[in-house]
Structure 1
Amino acid sequence: MSYKKKVIITGGSRGIGAAICARLIKQNYSVLAVCRTSPNMAGVDHIACDFSDKYQRINVFKSLRDYGPIYGLINNAGIATPNLLEDFDLDIYESVMTINATAVAELTAAVVPSMIQNKSGRVVNISSELILGFATRTAYSASKAAVSSFARTWALELGKYNICCNAIAPGPVETDLFIKNNPEGSAVRQSKLDKIPLGRFGKPDDIANMTNYLMSEEAAFLTGQTIYVCGGSSLGSVSF
């Protein structure tokens, strides 16, 4: 029986995370999803964790140290709560930063010793093209810029252990939530579509395919980068 490389993903129950789980299972990885809701997908193990709860994070992340040799980590979990600067809400800001950035650093610190021991590994942070700036997203844009910066910093720290760290910055992706907020035929949907040179929205599989590539041996000389998977929308205005 062939050995399956173990990969941990956060936020794997729906949308982009679920697509990544399905793609990695297809590539014969052993996948563990750490999220509140089970992905309900054959071949995916699940540990429940509410990333807004400090003590749950501490206990769950600590338990992952005994998960076995870990090859890959995909930091995908995140929230986006609109908040204009003039209406700044500290609770919203801290919640977004905790889930989108602090938990990413905590989890990576917990599992990277396994990669160091094996002298091999991959870390992929799911960022966003909104790191370029977007109205009402002070916390979200900052948190996603943070995980892109994490990838650069960790690439410098962990390269000597043959661990590659990168970030993916998706553009607008047609998840169920996106479709709900941007219904077919709506003006807001068309406005966003008009800003994408390739003329379509992203699909969860577009992000899953890039994640799979970054996990592969073909990406063994790629580290410290933020890769925009956005149909070209990051080249111009991102004022969706």
Structure 2
Amino acid sequence: MSAAHPNRVAAVTGGSAGIGRVICEQLLADGYEVVSLSRRATDIAHPRLHSVEVDLSDRAATGEAVREMVKQHEVTTVVHNAGVIRAALLPDVKLDDLDALVDLHLGCAIQLVQATLPAMRARHFGRVVLLSSRAALGLQTRTSYSATKAGMLGMARTWALELAPEGITVNVVAPGPIRTDMFYDVVEQGSERERALAASVPVKRLGESADVARAVGFFADERNSFVTGQVLYVCGGTSVGSLAL
């Protein structure tokens, strides 16, 4: 198989399962070389897929992994997808959980982009896509999750302004209810609650990982250089209505 285009080397966090795995598959199909950074090795067998096992909530481990990654790969596309929820009503919120999600959702993104910026600047080309959530608009039991996912929006808009003159775009994809293992950790698969939730979505279905991956692919595309600092809600319309889990 031919080598990837020089501008098509992507790092994807959380690439071993769920949305991240499908993002990796789509980028590979689009001709990218892909580095997956996740707690578990991805089971995708592909000559252009490189799997790195790392706990991205551990700053030191993440720093070591990304430094090693950029030694081996000239990454110019970053897709930060890894995330966890840590659901709790306000009286039960633990500050340790908030700290962990700050490190994973925000700190890890900073580490990744700082490490890959030299290659992006050298090529005067870069794509950064952060995976936020419809929960950034507010959702019960999501204090730490919503706060850090909302933080991604401000961070991305700031980076978009700073990096635009260098040919680097920064955008956000914010999924709504997507059928993944993480979703089913909260909602029992096949339950009445799942059916009621699907019925409450304006498009009358739950989302699939491929719905999100297609949005990521749009922002990552080299041709879409006039789109930066934007948030695309892939949520079936729930960002313009109400959603009750």
TM-score (norm 2): 0.93
- Asked whether the equivalents of residues 133 and 238 of structure 1 are also in contact (C-alpha less than 8 Å), the reply is no
Q: Which moved more, 1:196-205 or 1:179-188?
A: 179-188
Question: Helix, strand or coil for the counterpart of 2:200?
Answer: coil
Q: Which moved more, 1:63-72 or 1:126-135?
A: 63-72
Cα offset, 1:2, TM superposition: 5.4
After the TM superposition, list the runs of 4 or more consecutive aligned residues in structure 1 that deviate by more than 3 angstroms.
none
Q: Matched residues in 2 for 1:40 and 1:134: separation?
A: 33
- Asked whether the equivalents of residues 131 and 174 of structure 2 are also in contact (C-alpha less than 8 Å), the reply is yes
How large is the RMSD of aligned CA atoms in angstroms?
1.5
Aligned to 1:214: 219
Which of residues 134, 150, 156 is equivalent to 1:129? 134
Unmatched segments (≥5 aa) in structure 1: none
Question: Helix, strand or coil for the counterpart of 1:142?
Answer: helix
Do the aligned partners of residues 3 and 135 (structure 1) sit closer, same or farther apart at CA in structure 2, a change above 3 Å counting?
closer
Whether 1:63 and 2:36 are equivalent positions in the alignment is no
Aligned to 1:30: 33
TM-score (norm 1): 0.94
Aligned to 1:238: 243
Do the aligned partners of residues 184 and 38 (structure 1) sit closer, same or farther apart at CA in structure 2, a change above 3 Å counting?
closer
Whether 1:172 and 2:177 are equivalent positions in the alignment is yes
CA offset digits 1:156-194 (Å, max 9, x no partner): 000011111000000000113324543454232133213
Question: Helix, strand or coil for the counterpart of 2:152?
Answer: helix
- Asked whether the equivalents of residues 105 and 149 of structure 2 are also in contact (C-alpha less than 8 Å), the reply is yes
Do the aligned partners of residues 200 and 56 (structure 1) sit closer, same or farther apart at CA in structure 2, a change above 3 Å counting?
same
- Asked whether the equivalents of residues 64 and 111 of structure 1 are also in contact (C-alpha less than 8 Å), the reply is no
Unmatched segments (≥5 aa) in structure 2: none
Aligned to 2:56: 51
Aligned amino acid, residue 169 of structure 1:
A
Aligned to 1:76: 81
- Asked whether the equivalents of residues 127 and 148 of structure 1 are also in contact (C-alpha less than 8 Å), the reply is yes
